[in-house]
Amino acid sequence: MVKLEETPLPGVGVRHDFDGRFGKRVGVITHRDGRREIFVSRRDDPDACGQSIVLSDEEAEAMADLLGGSTITRHVSRLSQDIEGLAMDWVSLPGISPYAGRLLGDTMMRTRTGASIVAIMRDGHAVPAPGPEFPLRAGDTLVVVGTPEGVVRAANLLNGGA
Amino acid sequence: MPLAQLFLELGAVILALAFVGRAAGRLGITPIPLYLLAGIGLGAFMSLGDAPTEFIHIGAEIGAVLLLFTLGLEYTSQELRDNLRANRQVGLLDLGLNFTPGLLAGFALGFPPLAAVLLGGVTYLTSSGIASKVLGDLGRLGNRETPVILSVCVLEDVAMAAYLPVVAALLIGGTLIAIEINLLVALAAFALAFFLALRYGHVLSRLMNVQSNEALLLSVFGLVLVVAGVADLLKVSAAIGAFLVGIALSGEVAERARGLIEPLRDLFAAVFFVFFGLQLDLSSVPGVLLPALGLAAVTSATKFMTGWWGAARAGVQTRGRFRAGTTLIARGEFSILIAGLGLELVPTLGPLAAVYVLLTAILGPVLARFDAQLAPLFDRKLREVRA
């Protein structure tokens, strides 16, 4: 975890900063009026700002989205690595798939690949533990769990490959 | 006096200020010292009629009140409490180092004691306006020494809030007993108002928070003037009443009020500085030049030490310490305000303060700008001292 330091700036706002891993102090000043100021310290003078950028409220939000987005992705990919020998993937069912419009049981997924379909995402909802009589539709996202190889084979099968 | 002449003269004065303000922006400095010069120039080369002078006089009073009010708005009561607790030592050092030279110089110049106390106030108060402008313009808000600089300014402002009512009470004069009673009344009123502002500020803030900007502007401006008037009746100093209203307002209403009052403050504050310049007797300037130079040299050094020490305590390196020291050197609006109180005691106090403010307001920001070139100088000297 990054150790954030909070310093009140009377009459201005609040400063949050931390000593970055690559030798620079990085911080954000939240001004009273909502503006955010991102700054990095100078390398030769860590007490001083080398560069600072003032962002409006909305720009700061967009910036946070950009920076935050990568954290979420990293978190998911780490999840599949954390449990050894177990993989999990989201496979979307394209229109060209042979199984679009057929029942889930028709894929004979467990028998053919060893992987299981544990849930199906459709229109933003999740259908957990779908039975064999569940009709698949193009555009569904299938949550597949199994060995890493099994998951890859399952994805190929659903996409119309071997 | 015909209205046309009044408007023409006032308009000319304000346009001159606009010109000066633009020039200051071009040079990247605050216009405060230039407004003073403009006032001095006006006094020397033009004579305004009675009506414009009257207007400028009242405008100047409103300007002083609004300056203090917006200063109070800058701080939340929480910030004041935290600062009082955390930075006592720097604050006391600041007071000792920078009030004393003014006081001693006052005595040395043969001022009456009260005028010497006023001169102490003049040399004590850093211009928070100039300091924050330097920090903002040079992109130094994220610097490590910046919280120290801001804290010193906050503590000075609190100290001034206690100092002004005391001085105001002393200025009334009279017998010793009358002075004591005035002093007690002033201090009690101030303490009560300060307590109420800290304790019940949020209630006032909620009451004042109306939706329309127009209504908010009118209620805030009206309240400030009423409280300032009451404070003046109690002989506490109108400006302090305004300061306390500023402290009491917090949160969203303070935010909005700041935006609404700022243009008004800028207008009247400029008038305030012009008025001060107008009042100055130019012929007394050569006489105060030497004392002002000496005072500026000594108190620039003591302010520098204050900032240096404060920054060192916060674990900042040489260059940052240098920046903290130099940023604090500039004196400005409040030194003028304090000197204005004593114009009748000692006629030379005004010109002395004006020249002094001009010198420090120019020296401080210029030195602050060249930290890369000048700070190593201090470092080498320091090493030599140690070796």
Q: Which amino acid is at B287?
A: G
Residues A59 and A80 in one domain: no
Residue B199 lies in a domain: yes
In this predicted structure, what is the pLDDT of residue A86?
A: 79
Q: Find chain B residues with C-beta within 8 A of A9's C-beta.
A: 141, 146-147, 150
Domain count for chain A: 2
Residue A97: its pLDDT value, please? 82
Contacts of B139 (CB under 8 A, 6+ apart): A39, A49, A51, A52
Within this chain, do residues A46 and A14 fall inside the same structural domain, yes or no?
yes
Write the DSSP assignment of B210-277 as a string of letters: -SSHHHHHHHHHHHHHHHHHHHHHTTS-HHHHHHHHHHH--HHHHHHHHHHHHHHHHHHHHHHHHHHH
* Band of residue A75 on the pLDDT scale cut at 50, 70, 90: very low
- Chain B CB contacts of A12 under 8 Å are 132, 141, 150
A88 near A145, Cβ under 8 Å?
A: yes
Nearest-angstrom CA–CA distance, B148 and B169? 32
pLDDT in tens, A98-125: 888 888 888 888 888 888 888 998 887 8
Cβ contact (<8 Å) for A12 and B141?
yes
What pLDDT, on a 0 to 100 scale, did the predictor assign at position A73? 46
Q: What is the pLDDT of residues B235-294, one digit of tens each?
A: 777 888 888 888 888 778 888 898 899 899 989 988 888 888 888 877 888 889 999 999
Q: Band of the pLDDT at B356, cuts 50, 70, 90?
A: very high
In CATH, what number is assigned to the domain containing residue B319?
Answer: 1.20.1530.20
CB B40 within 8 A of CB B354: yes
Q: Is the pLDDT of residue B171 over 50?
A: yes
The residue-averaged pLDDT of B350-366 equals 90
DSSP tag of A12:
T
The mean pLDDT of B355-359, rounded to a whole number, is 92
Sequence letter at residue B60: A
Whether residues A49 and B153 touch (CB distance < 8 A) is answered with no
Please identify, among A54, A69, A84, the residue that sits at the C-terminal boundary of a domain.
A69
Same domain membership, residue A94 and residue A65: no
List the single residue in A8, A15, A45 with the smallest CB-CB distance to B142.
A15
Between the alpha carbon of residue B82 and those of residues B24, B151, B153, B178, the distances in Å are 35, 10, 14, 36
Please give the Cα distance from A46 to A40 (Å, whole number): 9
Residue corresponding to tokens 């320091």: B382
Banded model confidence at residue B55, pLDDT cuts 50, 70, 90: confident
Over residues B197-248, the pLDDT tens digits come to 778 888 888 888 888 889 999 999 999 999 999 988 877 778 888 888 888 8
Q: Give residue B359's domain range.
A: 32-326+335-382
Share of chain A above pLDDT 90, in %: 9
Say whether both A90 and A56 belong to one domain: no
> Is residue B27 situated within a structural domain?
no
Residues A25, A97, single domain; the answer is no
CB contact under 8 A, B143 and A49: yes
What's chain B's average pLDDT? 86
> What's the whole-model pTM score?
0.74
Structural contact between residues B262 and B221, judged by C-beta atoms closer than 8 angstroms: no
Domain end call among A42, A69, A96: A69
pLDDT in tens, A41-64: 988 888 888 888 999 888 988 888
CA distances from B41 to B50, B101, B279, B357 (A): 18, 30, 11, 16
Q: Note whether A49 and A82 are same-domain residues.
A: no
Q: Are residues A58 and A126 both part of a single domain?
A: no
Q: Residue A13 is part of which domain span?
A: 5-69
pLDDT at A161: 65
B19 in any annotated domain: no
**Closest chain B residue to the Cα of A7, Cα to Cα:** B147
Say yes or no: A109 and A150 in one domain: yes
Of A9, A41, A45, the CB nearest to B147: A9
Same domain, residue pair A52 and A115: no
Asked whether residue A29 carries a pLDDT value surpassing 70, the answer given is: yes
Residue ending a domain, choose from A69, A99, A117: A69
Note the pLDDT of residue B385.
Answer: 53
Residue B33: burial class (beta carbons within 10 Å; 0-12, 13-18, 19+): buried
How many residues can be counted in chain B?
Answer: 387
Same domain for A132 and A152, yes or no, is yes
Task: Tell if the CB–CB gap between B317 and A45 is shorter than 8 Å.
Answer: yes
Predicted-complex ipTM score: 0.74
Confidence of residue A66 (pLDDT cuts 50, 70, 90): confident
Q: Which of B313, B325, B341, B314 is nearest to B378 (CA)?
A: B325
Helix (H) or strand (E) holding A141: strand A141-146
Confidence of residue A74 (pLDDT cuts 50, 70, 90): very low
Q: Look at A49 and B150 and tell me if their CB atoms are within 8 Å.
A: no
DSSP secondary structure letter of residue B331: -
A29 to chain B: closest CA residue: B142
* Coil, strand or helix at A51: strand
Residue B116 included in any domain: yes
Q: How many domains does chain B have?
A: 1
**Does B8 map to a domain?**
no
What's the whole-number mean pLDDT along residues B137-147?
90
Partner residue opposite B139 with nearest CB, options A32, A46, A49? A49
Instruction: Mark whether A61 and A93 lie in a shared domain.
Output: no
CB crowding B140-161: b at 16 or more within 10 Å, else e: bbbbbbbbbbbbbbbbbbbbbb
Burial class (CB in 10 A: 0-12, 13-18, 19+), B53: middle
Shared domain for A34 and A95, answered yes or no, is no
Please tell me the least confidently modeled range out of B45-54, B285-294, B298-307.
B45-54
The DSSP secondary structure of B315-367, one letter per residue, reads T--HHHHHHHHHHT----HHHHHHHHHTTTT-TTHHHHHHHHHHHHHHHHHHH
Distance between CA atoms of B350 and B337, rounded to whole angstroms? 10
Residue with tokens 């209403």: B253
Lowest mean pLDDT segment, chosen from A95-99, A134-138, B211-215:
A95-99
- Quote the percentage of chain B above a pLDDT of 70: 97
Q: Which two tokens stand for residue A147?
A: 């060995």
